[in-house]
C-alpha cells in the first residue's frame, strides 16, 4: 500500500507549517490569510480551499500541535529499570519534562494563553487533551510502577499532579514570563526532576 502523502496532503501541510510560524511570530490578530499564503508560496485561493477561514486554520494548528506531546506522554510504558523505583520515577519525570519543555510546545502555550479570551474553546481543548491528558498518562504510569509494591498511591491523579508540579512549576513559569524557548539548561531541568522525585518518594514510598 502506497503511504506517500498526496499532493493535497503535502499542500495542506505546507500551509499549516507556514501558518504556524506566522501565528507564533505575529499572533492571531497580526496574521492574515494573505500573509499565510505568501509564506506558504501558494495563492490565497489555495489557502481557502483547505481552510474556510483563519479561525479554522488556527484550530487545525492547535490540534495538530498537541498530538506529538500527548503521544509522547502516553506511549512511555514503565517500569524502565524494574527493581529501582527511584530510577523508574526519574525516567518518567524526565520524559514528562522533556515533552512539555520543547520549544514548539512553549511557543504554542504562549500563543494560546494570549488568545484564551478570544478562543476559550481552543484553550479549553488544549487544557483537556494536553494538560489533563498528560496528567492522566502520568497517573497511569505511576499506577504501573506502584504495582511492584514500592509506591503507595491512594489517589494516582493527585500523586501525578504533585510530581508534575514539583518538576515543572519553576521551569514552565520561567519560560512563560521570560519568553525564552530554552530558559534552563538540560542539567538545570534534570536537577528539578531529581529533586521532584526525591520529594515525591518521601511522601509516596511504601
Dihedral of alpha carbons 132, 154, 166, 71, sign: negative
Mean pLDDT to the nearest integer, 174-198: 94
Q: Is the pLDDT of residue 76 over 90?
A: no
CATH number at residue 171: 1.10.357.10
Domains contained in the chain, number: 2
Half-sphere exposure of 65 (CA within 13 A, CB side): 30
pLDDT score recorded for residue 5: 67
Residue 3: domain span: 1-51
Question: Do 40 and 113 fall within a single domain?
Answer: no
Question: Do 194 and 153 fall within a single domain?
Answer: yes
Nine-digit cell at 174?
520561567
pLDDT tens digit string along 133-157? 889 999 999 999 998 899 999 999 9
pLDDT, averaged across the chain: 89
pLDDT score recorded for residue 170: 96
Taking the whole predicted model, whether its pTM rises above 0.75 is answered as yes
Question: Do 41 and 66 fall within a single domain?
Answer: no
pLDDT score recorded for residue 1: 44
Return the minimum-mean-pLDDT range out of 2-16, 89-103, 132-146, 174-188.
Answer: 2-16
On whether residue 57 sits in a domain, the answer given is no
Nine-digit cell at 100?
512539555
Question: Do 74 and 150 fall within a single domain?
Answer: yes
CB of 171 within 8 A of CB of 184?
A: yes
CA distance 172 to 88: 23
CA distance 202 to 199: 5
pLDDT score recorded for residue 47: 95
Question: Do 87 and 183 fall within a single domain?
Answer: yes
Question: Does residue 166 or residue 183 have the better pLDDT?
Answer: 166
pLDDT tens digit string along 84-127? 999 999 999 999 998 889 888 898 888 888 888 888 888 888 88
Question: Do 38 and 90 fall within a single domain?
Answer: no
Question: Do 47 and 75 fall within a single domain?
Answer: no
Amino acid at each position: 500500500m502506497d503511504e506517500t502523502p498526496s499532493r493535497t496532503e503535502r499542500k495542506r501541510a505546507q500551509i499549516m507549517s507556514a501558518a504556524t510560524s506566522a501565528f507564533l511570530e505575529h499572533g492571531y490578530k497580526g496574521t492574515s490569510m494573505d500573509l499565510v499564503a505568501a509564506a506558504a508560496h501558494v495563492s490565497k485561493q489555495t489557502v481557502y480551499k483547505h481552510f474556510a477561514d483563519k479561525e479554522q486554520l488556527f484550530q487545525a494548528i492547535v490540534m495538530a500541535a498537541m498530538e506529538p506531546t500527548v503521544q509522547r506522554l502516553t506511549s512511555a510504558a514503565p517500569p524502565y529499570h524494574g527493581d529501582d523505583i527511584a530510577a523508574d520515577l526519574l525516567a518518567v519525570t524526565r520524559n514528562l519534562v522533556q515533552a512539555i519543555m520543547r520549544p514548539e510546545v512553549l511557543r504554542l502555550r504562549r500563543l494560546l494563553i494570549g488568545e484564551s479570551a478570544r478562543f476559550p474553546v481552543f484553550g479549553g481543548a488544549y487544557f483537556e487533551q494536553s494538560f489533563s491528558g498528560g496528567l492522566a498518562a502520568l497517573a497511569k504510569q505511576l499506577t504501573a510502577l506502584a504495582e511492584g509494591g514500592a509506591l503507595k498511591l491512594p489517589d494516582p491523579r493527585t500523586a501525578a499532579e504533585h510530581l508534575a508540579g514539583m518538576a515543572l512549576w519553576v521551569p514552565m513559569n520561567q519560560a512563560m514570563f521570560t519568553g525564552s524557548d530554552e530558559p534552563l539548561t538540560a542539567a538545570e531541568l534534570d536537577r528539578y526532576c531529581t529533586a521532584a522525585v526525591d520529594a515525591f518518594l518521601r511522601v509516596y514510598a511504601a
